[in-house]
Amino acid sequence: LAVKDPTAVERANLLNMAKLSIKGLIESALSFGRTLDSDYPPLQQFFVVMEHCLKHGLKVRKSFLSYNKTIWGPLELVEKLYPEAEEIAASVRDLPGLKTPLGRARAWLRLALMQKKMADYLRCLIIQRDLLSEFYEYHALMMEEEGAVIVGLLVGLNVIDANLCVKGEDLDSQVGVIDFSMYLKSDEDIGSKERNVQIAAILDQKNYVEELNRQLNSTVSSLHARVDSLEKSNTKLIEELAIAKNNIIKLQEENHQLRSENTLILMKTQHHLEATKVDAEAELQTYKHSRQGLDDMYNEARRQLREESQLRQDMENELVVQVSMKHEIELAMKLLEKDIHEKQDTLIGLRQQLEEVKAINMEMYQKLQVSEDAMKEKNEIIGRLEDKTNQINAAMKQLEQRLQQAEKAQMEAEAEDEKLKQEYVNKSESLQKEFSQKEKQLLQLETDLKIEKEWRQTLEDDLQKEKETVSHLRIETQEIVNLKKEFLKLQEKNKQLKRICQDQEAALEELASKLSESKLKIEDIKEANKALQGQVWLKDKEATHCKLCEKEFSLSKRKHHCRNCGEIFCNACSDNELPLPSSPKPVRVCDSCHAILIQRCSSNVP
C-alpha cells in the first residue's frame, strides 16, 4: 500500500469537518429560528473549526520573547485587498478587552459572519496566493484547492442572521476543541430528510434573493457613480459654456472695434484717394497744356519748313547777293552758340544747387532724429528748419525765375531765328542745319525740364516730411506744457495737504495739552481724596439743610454728598463741574475738597 501524505490527510479531514459544521449550523439554525446568539453550540463549534482551518500550515514567526503562530496576520491583510473590510479591522483594533492577536482574529471572524461577507473576504485572500505565501506553507489548506471549497461552502451561511456580542466576551482565553458528538447521526436525523429538502429549497431561494440584492446594490452603486460623473461633466460643461459665452462677448466687442477701425481706415483712404485724384488731375491738365504748347510749336516749325522749302528756289536766286553778309551771319551764330553754352552752364549750376538742397535736406533729417533725445534743442531746431524751408522756397523761386528767363531766352532765340530766316533766305542749307540743332536743343531742354520737375516733386515731398516732423515736435512740446501744468496742480494739492496736516497736528497738540491739564487736575483730586480719607459720612436723617445756603432739602433741592469730606450740598450750591475723559457728561465737584459728589435721596422724600 502506498503511504499517503499526512498534510493531504489533514486537509481532507479539515474539509470534511468544515462541511459537517457548516451543514449542521445551517440545519440547526433553520430549525431554531435562523437568528443565533454567541452561546449557540453549533456556532461555537463552527468558529473552532474555522480557526483550525486557518491555522493549518501557518508559518511560525519569530518575536522578541518566543515563537509566535497566529492567524491575525493573514486576516489583517484582507483590509488592503478589500476596502470594505477596513471598518471591521478598525473596530477589532478599538475593542478594549482584546490583548492577543488570536483574540482579535476570533473577533474578526464573528464580525465578518454578522456582516455576511466572510466568504467574500476569504475569497479575496485566497486569490492573492503570492501574499499568502508569506504566512502559510506551500501545503497549507488555504494554499490548496480545499481552501476554495471551504470558501464556496461559506456562501451558504448568508441565510443565517447572527447577533453576537463581541465587546464583553473573553476571546483571548478560549480553548478551541472540536466536539465530534454533535456530528454523529441518529434515527431522528433519518426521519427529517424531507424537512431538510424543503429547508434547502427555501435556503436556495433566499440565496438567490440575496444574490439579486447584491447585484442590484452593485448596479445602484455604479449608477450613482455614473450620476456623479455626469453631474461633474455637466458642471464642467456649464463652466465651459459660461467661458465660451464670455469669449463670444469679448470677440463681438473686438469685432465691433475692428469694424469701427475699418470704417475709419476706409474714410481716411477715401480722403487720401480723393486728394491723390485731385493732384493727378491737376498734373494731367498741366501735362496736357504743356503737350499742346509743344505740339503747336512742332506744327508751326513744320509749317515754316514747308514755307522755306517753297521759298528755297527764291533763296537760291538771292544767294549770290548775300555772300557778302556771310561773315556777319557766322559771327551772329557764334554769339548764339555762346549764349547757349552760358545757358547750359546756368542749368548745370542749378543742378548743383539742387544737389546741395538735397544734402541740406538729409542733414535736416539727421538733425530731426537727434532732436528726439534732447527736448531743449527742439525749439532751436524748429527755428532752423523754418529758416531752411524759407531758404528752400526762395531757392525754388529763384529756380522758377531762372527757368522763366531760360524760356524767354529761348523765345528770343526763336524770334532771332525767324528774323534771320526772313532776312537771310538765301542761306537755306545753313538755316536747316541750325533748325536741326535747335530741335536738338529743344529736346534737351524738354528733358531738362522734366528732370527739374522731378527734382521739384522730390523737394516738395521732403518739405512735406519736414512739415510733418515739425507738427510732431509741436505736439510733443504741447504735451510737455500740459505735463508741466499737471505737475503745478499736483504741487498745489501737496501744499494744501501739508497745510491740513499742520492744522491737524496743531489740533492734536492742543488736545494733548488739555488732556495733560485734566490728568493733573485728576491727580490733584486724588491726592485731596487721600488726604481726606477716614472721615465719616453724615447720616441722611441728620442732614436736613444745605451747608452753604442753609436751606432745607426738597424735590427741587436734591442732596449731593462728597465721598471724601462727608459734606452734603444741594444741587444749586454744587455748580462746580469738571470734564472727565471717561464720562460723556461733566461731573459735579465739592467746593471744599474738589472731590466728586454723589447724588443721594433727601430725608423727606420717600
- Give the residue extent of every domain in the chain: 6-182, 545-605
Residue 211 has pLDDT above 70, yes or no: yes
Confidence of residue 249 (pLDDT cuts 50, 70, 90): very high
Q: CA-CA distances (angstroms) from residue 540 to 558, 562, 604? A: 12, 13, 9
CA pair distance 434, 442, nearest whole angstrom: 12
DSSP 507-533: HHHHHHHHHHHHHHHHHHHHHHHHHTT
For the chain, the distance separating the N- and C-terminal CA atoms, rounded to the nearest angstrom, is 126
3-state secondary structure at position 405: helix
Determine the CATH number of domain 6-182: 1.20.58.900
What is the percent of the chain with per-residue pLDDT over 90, rounded to a whole number? 3
Q: Does domain 545-605 have CATH number 3.30.40.10?
A: yes
Looking at residues 549-557, what average pLDDT do you find?
73
- Within 8 A by CB and 6+ apart from 125, the residues are 74, 75, 77, 78, 81, 132, 142
Confidence of residue 478 (pLDDT cuts 50, 70, 90): confident
- Contact assessment for residue 174 and residue 106, using Cβ atoms and an 8 Å cutoff: yes
Looking at residues 250-265, what average pLDDT do you find?
90
CA pair distance 117, 112, nearest whole angstrom: 6
CA pair distance 293, 303, nearest whole angstrom: 15
Phi, psi (rounded to 5 degrees) for 601:
-70, 140
Give the containing element (helix H, strand E) for 602: none
Looking at residues 497-512, what average pLDDT do you find?
86
pLDDT at residue 208 in the model:
80
Confidence of residue 238 (pLDDT cuts 50, 70, 90): very high
Provide the 10 A C-beta neighbour count for residue 278: 10
Angle between helices 193-310 and 378-423 (to 10 degrees): 40
Residue 187 has pLDDT above 60, yes or no: no
CA pair distance 480, 82, nearest whole angstrom: 79
pLDDT tens string 31-72 = 776 677 777 888 888 888 898 988 888 887 655 544 456 888
Longest Cα–Cα distance of the chain, Å, equals 185
pLDDT at residue 539 in the model:
64
Residue 474 has pLDDT above 70, yes or no: yes
Mean pLDDT lowest among 140-144, 495-499, 558-562, 581-585:
581-585
Q: CA-CA distances (angstroms) from residue 208 to 158, 204, 478? A: 11, 6, 96
pLDDT at residue 160 in the model:
82
Half-sphere exposure (CA, 13 Å, Cβ side) for 589? Answer: 19
Confidence of residue 510 (pLDDT cuts 50, 70, 90): confident
Dihedral sign, Cα of residue 545, residue 551, residue 552, residue 557: negative
Confidence of residue 344 (pLDDT cuts 50, 70, 90): confident
